[in-house]
Structures are given as C-alpha cells and as structure tokens.
Amino acid sequence: MSTTTLRKIPFFDYPALFAADEAELVEIFKDVGRRGAFIMQRDLEEFEQSAAEYVGAKYALGVGNATDGLLLCMRAAGIGPGDEVIFASHTMVATAAPIHFLGATPVAVECGADHLIDPASVAAAVTPRTKAIVPTQLNGRTADMEALQAIADEYDLLIIEDAAQAFGARYKGRAAGTFGHSSAISFYPAKTLGCLGDGGLVLTSDDETYRLMKLFRDHGRDESGDVVTWCLNSRLDNLQAAFLNFKLKTYDQAIERRRQIARLYQQELGDLTELTLPVGPDEDPDRFDIFQNYEIEAERRDGLKAHLAEQGIGTLIQWGGKAVHQFPELGVSATLPYTDALFQKMLMLPLNLALSDDDVRHISQQVRGFYGK
Ligand SMILES: *Cc1c(COP(=O)(O)O)cnc(C)c1O
C-alpha cells in the first residue's frame, strides 16, 4: 500500500456489523415481518432458552437493555430506600443508575490491577445498611467471585452482577452472570454479542426472582393478563431476538477470534515498558476472558491517543474518561486514588471482528512508533 494513504481503522465499525451477515439478517427480517412476530414470540422464547443454556443459568429473560435489566434485578432483590449498594466506580453509569432510581444509595469503590472491582475495597465499604454488591464483569473478564462471595456471606449481602460486557466469560468454569441473585447482559451493537439496536437479558436461577422479573418487564402483568404489581415495559424485541438466535450459533468462534486478537496484541506489544496490557488469554488458569475490550494502561496516554488518531486509528477511553464518582452532578462522591490514577492512563485499542491480523499488527506498529520502538 502507498505510504501516503492513511489506513483508517475505526475503533468500532458499525456498518461492518451489518455487512458481515447482511444476506442472513435481511432474510430474518423478512421472515419475522411476514409472520408479524414483533413482540414476545417464539424467537424470543428460543433465544431465552438458548442463552440460559449457554451460560448454565436456570432462567433468562429478554429485556429492553442491560440498564433496565439491572433495575429489574435490583427491584426483584428488594433493594430500596435506606439500602446501600456497593459497586466499582470504573463502570458505566448504568450500573449505579438503577440503585439511584430504587431510592437506594450507590457506594463507589476501587478497582484493582485488572481494572475489576477490588474485594478489599468492597469489604472496607460495608456498613449495617449495605444490602448488595454489584460487581461489573468488566472488559469481558469476571471479578474475583470467591472473594466477593466470602464478603457477601460474612455480612449477609446479595450479589447482583453487571455482566453487560461478559456474556460467556468464565471464572473457575462458571459463567459470569450466574454467581449471584441475578444479573444483566447487554446486546448493544458493540458488545461481544451485539444486536442491531438496543437489547438485554436478565439471568437468574431462582424461581421467585424469575417470576418477579417476568412481571416487571411486562407492565406487571401475570400469565392471565392480570396486573399484579406496578411496573413499566422493558421487553426484548422479537426481531432482535431472532437476530441474536442467528448470531449465537457462531458466538463461540467470535469469542475465539477476540482471544486471538488479544494474543496478537500481546505478542506485538508485550515488551513495551511504557504499557501495561490486560492479562493475556492464556495467562490466568482461573478465567476464560472474552475480551469485550482491550483496555491498556499507557504512559503519555493522551499523546498516544492523539498520535494514533493522526494515523487514522480510533481508540476510546471508557465512559468518556470519567469514573462514576468523577461526575459531580451525580453526587456519588468517594475518595478513590487508584481509580483516579488509572483514569489518567487507561485507553482501549480496537478489538472487534472487523479487524484482520494485519490491522492489529499495523495498530501495534503505530503504538511502537509513538514510543520510538
Ligand atoms: C453496556 C453496558 C451497560 C449498559 O448496557 P445497555 O444494554 O446499553 O443498557 C451497563 N454496564 C456496563 C458495564 C456496560 O458496558
């Protein structure tokens, strides 16, 4: 290729998500459309069943998005006014918003070296009002669920997982989203299992929690159509469920490809002392990470980001560069020096199925170039 041509690599290629399977997706649209199967039809039921089996949960319910999903989980857990709920500040505001809207208090804590919730920080934040811990299974990796469960057992707390980024990730053989009371998964297009719009899933293995969440996502209506509780509407579109049924068939390969890309980044960048890379896919025998993101720590991060942008390479700083406790308007104040320091260094390199090996090598070369290597 000519050296004068800028090779553009977007952080995430949304049109490619559609183009990769265009013919099949259009057929699915036609099929669902011709059946008039738009709301809570067999495609949704099939998807719920397959998704529950995939992770080894007793129940899965399609919902409008993971944010709603977390609200349903927390409401089913009885979280409300007077309760405190602990979460890691390095997460999307969507982890904390449901806590707020149930009238409870979000309590932000630190993350650790792998960017996931720090159990020691959780233990230190427990008070007599603490009701639950909400670990975010960040970047496609599962938190230290053994340590969190020990804290939950000691203080009689519930665990509700924000597994929005971790559908299929595992910790000691068990899938993210199946550890606690319940959990939520996101199918936002850029997520590892992305649909063509908004979509989400809640998981539980508890019969009563399932019964409640099923009411909560559909106006509080029971099987007979009777309204038995106040609630709103948050259903996964049947059309999105049909797309997801299709995508789930090749999801194992999609994850394997993500892990390959992570492996390649590690080969290409592992020797740079200016960077701290995520734990590699073959490095942690306790975990199967699905690499929703490739979040590095970089010296002179802003310079690196600008340099890559000049080279046509898109990168992203998660959450717009601010942890939840760093948005003053939310009133979730906390003293979190580790998280504050991390947010000066962290940066996500592109990691998605539209990338070729050559793209990954090219990105890596540009990173090396910035540090003069
Ligand atoms: C994407 C995401 C959410 C929100 O998911 P939606 O389906 O967009 O509501 C929540 N938490 C985390 C960690 C996420 O990455």
Average pLDDT over residues 216-240: 97
Cα separation, 150 vs 142, whole angstroms: 16
The band of 3, judged by pLDDT with boundaries at 50, 70 and 90, is low
Per-residue pLDDT at 150: 98
Per-residue pLDDT at 6: 84
Q: Where are the domains of the chain?
A: 20-248, 251-370
Q: Is 8 a catalytic residue?
A: no
At the second CATH level, the architecture of 20-248 is 3-Layer(aba) Sandwich (3.40)
What amino acid is encoded at 203 in this protein? L
Pocket test for ligand 1, best of 12, 65, 67, 295 (most atoms within 8 A of CB): 67
Give the list of residues 6+ apart from residue 90 with CB closer than 8 angstroms, or none: 111, 115, 136, 138, 318, 319, 323, 339, 342, 343
CATH number belonging to the domain at 251-370, selected among 1.10.1740.110, 3.90.79.10, 1.10.760.10, 3.90.1150.10? 3.90.1150.10
Cα separation, 13 vs 34, whole angstroms: 30
What amino acid is encoded at 100 in this protein? H
Pocket test for ligand 1, best of 87, 186, 290 (most atoms within 8 A of CB): 186
Cα separation, 150 vs 340, whole angstroms: 27
CA 272 to ligand 1 center in whole angstroms: 31
Cα separation, 114 vs 120, whole angstroms: 14
Closest ligand 1 atom to residue 198 Cα is: 7
Among candidate residues 131, 191, 247, 305, the one labeled active-site is 191
pLDDT digits (tens, 9 = 90+) for 203-217: 999 999 999 999 999
Per-residue pLDDT at 76: 98
Cα separation, 290 vs 312, whole angstroms: 26
CA 157 to ligand 1 center in whole angstroms: 23
Contact 327, 93 (CB under 8 A): yes
CA 66 to ligand 1 center in whole angstroms: 5
User: Is residue 4's pLDDT more than 80?
Assistant: no
The band of 275, judged by pLDDT with boundaries at 50, 70 and 90, is very high
Residue 320 carries which DSSP code? G
Closest ligand 1 atom to residue 69 Cα is: 9
pLDDT digits (tens, 9 = 90+) for 173-191: 999 999 999 999 999 999 9
Contact 128, 106 (CB under 8 A): no
Question: Quick one: CA dihedral 113, 119, 123, 125, positive or negative?
Answer: positive
Closest ligand 1 atom to residue 68 Cα is: 9
User: Is residue 282's pLDDT more than 90?
Assistant: yes
Q: Which residues line ligand 1 (CB under 6 A)?
A: 65-67, 91-92, 94-95, 136, 162, 164-165, 186, 188, 198, 200
